[in-house]
Amino acid sequence: MNATVNDAARVVEPVPPVGPEVFDDLLVIELGSRVGAGACGSLLAQLGATVVLIEPPERPDGVVEKRGKWNYRAQFASGKRSVRGSVLGEDQLISDLLQRADIVIVSSDVDPGIPDLSGRTGTHAVICDITAYGAAEGAAGARGDSDWQVQARAGLVATTGTKEGPPLCVPFPIVEMMTGTYAAAAILSAMRIVSRTHRGQYIDMALYDCAFVSLTSFLPRLLIGESTTIQRLGNRHAMIAPWNVYPAQDGWLLICAGSDAQWQRLCGLMKREDLITDPRTSRGAERIKNADFVDRAVSDWIRTQTVDRCVHALNDAQIACGAVTQIDGYPREDNLRYRGMVGKVADPLSGRDIHLPGSPLRMSQTPGRSPDRIPAPDDDRESASSWLPRRRPDRGSSGEQTGGQPLEGIRVVEIGHYTTIPLSARLLGSLGADVIKIEPPDGETTRGWVPTHEGQGYFFTLMNSDKRSLSLDLRKASDVAILRNLLQDADVLVENLKPGALARRGFSADMLAELNPRLIYCSVSGFGSDSLYAGRPAFDSVIQAMSGVMDVLRAGDVPLKTGISCADLMGGEVAVVALLAALEYRERTGHGQNIDLSMQDICAWLTQTVWGGDTTKIPTLPCSDGAILAELDPPQAEELGPIIAGFSRSEALEFLQRRDIRAAPVLSVAEAVVAPITKARKLWFAVEERGTAWPLLANPMRLEGSAVRVRKPIPSIGHDNREILAELARRTLDAQ
């Protein structure tokens, strides 16, 4: 429960939820035909904004537009208003919409007919341009590459697939969806600057940027100059075995046994106690060396079982696992239905009901609005006067040259580990927030991951820039008191501990609301705090299995995870969207709220373009110096594959270009690191700190005026204890 607290009397008064209508004065015009533009508009619509989808004019020949997001019209029109027409014509309604718009979403590289909007919108409008390589990158920016081509050029394809098989393209627009999510966060950030300056903002969002920074787990050795070959692992883990997907009697099951104790419990379930003492399998390092043998032993047991029987046994043994959820019209998974992530809406074009994902934005006061309507093209033209939000006054420039950083003056407390919440807090730090990372006395788990320098890992540093480190032992009452004191005037608390872990330390959602009614508390977990699977362990691979990602991406018939940790990464990105929206709600009402995000919800939302069975299998073809990705159907690939095999990648691309076939080289991660576009966009750079050049990653949200700044690596464990404790002491004195 959210509450206001009278400090003198400590009287808790309930605050009625306002709901997403707090954003109902935002008018968003969605012009861009990229999937990323559609995903961005969908998230803003879920937050309560009025999003107007500008649909292409009807063609005389009756042909329906089928490119980009229009291949998935039902998904990206749902929850929005539809107006058909052209910004180039004399359509008075569209001209009026652009003049009144708070936000305009375009994709200039694939929609070149859209004119300069600077004179066609109000002076306070935020214009977000989503392109493949950035709107300002000259010839590269003019190339309207597809999601699949960007996957290949940024190194994602090279990381996906089995060690023995070819590199694979993710068969749904994963980079577009990631970029649309980043774009929504960038827009909400820009709106904070607009509110200070009353001047518009321009956002340059590139698919390539978002794809490259998603490679974090593959980058550390390459960014410090080590010569390293990144090997595809399929569903395996580089440091843990067993960690793979196995066929059962009635489906596929993913198992992640991360410790010797878990392996011993698994051996007991399999009735293979001999493997506990077998020198090939007794210790983790030996199991990695003998992973094929380990997988055969596990597979022999799984084949004799049903999926449900295995899941129950493994859960009882506290071994992370997950059934590979099938997408048949929608992901067939109980927890997704329980959390409202599967809906059915009438599609006016097909004349049938189709399944659509609900909103993954589970928020106590401004819950994401799940779509309940798909408009027909131009359905909302005649009724525009009834649904247009009230006109926001265009107050012109305040004379202020800059609005500073969006989150200046915001204090974020992070209790995070691994990837998801550290990513969220890192992005908030680069937007100007003061981020305090709470670490145990021996440091966050990934701080020691190799490669390291003086005990600090480069992966950890990439994930934790622009933060201060406060070391607390939350087993001690004195340190719990410090955290309580810190949270009393913090703005945001973000964590990805197991659900209930903070509550056991005295920090439940209700207790936090009483302690600080302005606090925004965001928890990200595998299945959500309100879940059928309370307490169940969940790694990125488990979530990919149980959301449907692995059902879509297969090596032959075997379900496969993406090379990048898409569940972890998308969880972090969506958290930033939710937090920025919650901050806007607090600006208007003075009240905080609780956010319960499930990575399973988010990954199901990520796969929505294949819910109707529409998957695009883009083949990769071997060349003399690697591979290329080519948009060919199977007969074409079979015909041209032997020819291309004798070409270099550049020769193969030229060969296909002459035949008007879209293609791209499959670049390795090492090649992407040194690619000209990576350098031009400054996607990574080194910062000197403590006598070491630490490589850092850029934030792909590019706001006008450099409002996003990645500045410094995180310091050593507890480096900022003295400073932060002194700040708390001064606050206590000031309050007396």
Residue where a domain terminates, one of 285, 305, 323? 323
Q: Who's near 504: CB < 8 A, 6+ residues apart?
A: none
Q: What total number of domains does the chain contain?
A: 3
Place of tokens 């490669």: 451
Instruction: Read off the DSSP letter of residue 527.
Output: S
Query: Would 222 be classed as within a structural domain?
Result: no
Same domain, 309 and 433: no
Inter-residue contact 392 to 102 (CB < 8 Å): yes
The per-residue pLDDT for 131 is 95
Nearest to 334 by CA among 521, 533, 146: 533
Instruction: Report the b/e string of 329-338 with b at 16+ CB within 10 A.
Output: ebbebebbee
Nearest to 432 by CA among 461, 402, 466, 464: 466
Q: Please measure the distance between the N-terminal and C-terminal CA atoms of the chain and give it in whole angstroms.
A: 29
Inter-residue contact 654 to 182 (CB < 8 Å): no
Q: What is the pTM of this model?
A: 0.95
**Hey, which bits of 194-259 come out as E strands?**
201-206, 243-248, 251-256
SS3 category, 149: helix
Same domain, 174 and 272: no
| H helices, E strands: number in the chain | 29, 28
Inter-residue contact 566 to 174 (CB < 8 Å): yes
Could you give the angle at the alpha carbon of 684 between the alpha carbons of 159 and 449, nearest 5°? Answer: 60
Per-residue tokens: 348: 């006016």
Inter-residue contact 539 to 600 (CB < 8 Å): no
SS3 category, 405: coil
d(CA 640, CA 651): 13
SS3 category, 658: coil
Same domain, 466 and 581: yes
Query: Would 61 be classed as within a structural domain?
Result: yes
Same domain, 253 and 316: yes
Rounded to 10°, the helix 566-589/540-547 angle is 90
Inter-residue contact 266 to 318 (CB < 8 Å): no
Same domain, 505 and 599: yes
Place of tokens 């499959």: 666
The CATH number for 57's domain is: 3.40.50.10540
SS3 category, 557: coil
* Burial degree of 386 (CB within 10 A; 0-12, 13-18, 19+): exposed
Query: Would 4 be classed as within a structural domain?
Result: no
H-run or E-run covering 356: strand 352-357
d(CA 136, CA 131): 10
Instruction: Count Cβ atoms below 10 Å from residue 321 Cβ, excluding itself.
Output: 27
d(CA 687, CA 692): 8
Query: Would 344 be classed as within a structural domain?
Result: no
The domain of 310 spans 243-323
d(CA 316, CA 324): 19
Instruction: Count Cβ atoms below 10 Å from residue 647 Cβ, excluding itself.
Output: 18
Query: Would 705 be classed as within a structural domain?
Result: no
Query: Would 420 be classed as within a structural domain?
Result: yes
SS3 category, 59: coil
d(CA 443, CA 463): 14
Query: Would 678 be classed as within a structural domain?
Result: no
Instruction: Read off the DSSP letter of residue 285.
Output: H
Count CA within 13 A, CB hemisphere, residue 247: 4
The per-residue pLDDT for 20 is 55
Per-residue tokens: 12: 């808790």
Residue where a domain terminates, one of 323, 352, 372? 323
In the beta sheet, which residues pair with residue 629?
620, 664
Inter-residue contact 525 to 532 (CB < 8 Å): no
Using omega within 30 degrees of 0 as the cis cutoff, is the peptide bond preceding 517 cis? no
Same domain, 202 and 269: no
Query: Would 338 be classed as within a structural domain?
Result: no
Same domain, 459 and 316: no
Residue where a domain terminates, one of 288, 323, 358? 323
Q: Who's near 611: CB < 8 A, 6+ residues apart?
A: 75, 327, 329, 330, 331, 354, 355, 356, 357
Inter-residue contact 169 to 244 (CB < 8 Å): no
Residue 376 φ then ψ, to 5°? -75, 155
Instruction: Read off the DSSP letter of residue 132.
Output: S
The per-residue pLDDT for 474 is 95
Same domain, 157 and 262: no
Inter-residue contact 94 to 127 (CB < 8 Å): no
Inter-residue contact 600 to 533 (CB < 8 Å): no
In the beta sheet, which residues pair with residue 253?
246, 323
The CATH number for 281's domain is: 3.30.1540.10
Helix, strand and coil in the chain, % to nearest 5 = 40, 20, 45
Inter-residue contact 291 to 236 (CB < 8 Å): yes
Amino acid (one-letter) located at 172: F
The two beta strands, 468-471 and 434-439, are parallel
H-run or E-run covering 5: strand 3-6
Which three-class secondary structure string do you get for 290-354? Answer: CHHHHHHHHHHHHCCCCHHHHHHHHHHCCCEEEECCCECCCECCHHHHHCCCEEEEEECCCCEEE
Same domain, 206 and 283: no
Going from the first residue of the chain to its last (736 residues), give the mean pLDDT of each consecutive group of 10, the final group possibly shorter.
34 45 88 97 97 90 78 96 87 92 95 75 89 74 84 97 95 97 97 92 96 97 91 92 97 94 97 97 95 97 97 94 96 97 96 96 96 96 92 54 85 96 98 98 94 94 98 96 97 94 93 97 96 89 98 96 98 98 95 97 97 85 96 92 96 95 96 96 94 95 88 96 95 79
d(CA 252, CA 244): 10
SS3 category, 192: helix
d(CA 204, CA 184): 12
d(CA 277, CA 606): 43
d(CA 69, CA 179): 14
d(CA 637, CA 726): 66
d(CA 419, CA 269): 31
Same domain, 446 and 575: yes
The per-residue pLDDT for 479 is 97
Same domain, 299 and 180: no
Rounded to 10°, the helix 721-735/477-487 angle is 60
Count CA within 13 A, CB hemisphere, residue 117: 35
Nearest to 305 by CA among 272, 270, 332: 270
Per-residue tokens: 642: 């032997």
Same domain, 250 and 120: no
Count CA within 13 A, CB hemisphere, residue 293: 11
Our measurement of the distance from residue 556's CA atom to the centroid of its chain's CA atoms, rounded to an integer in Å, reads 27
d(CA 434, CA 711): 12
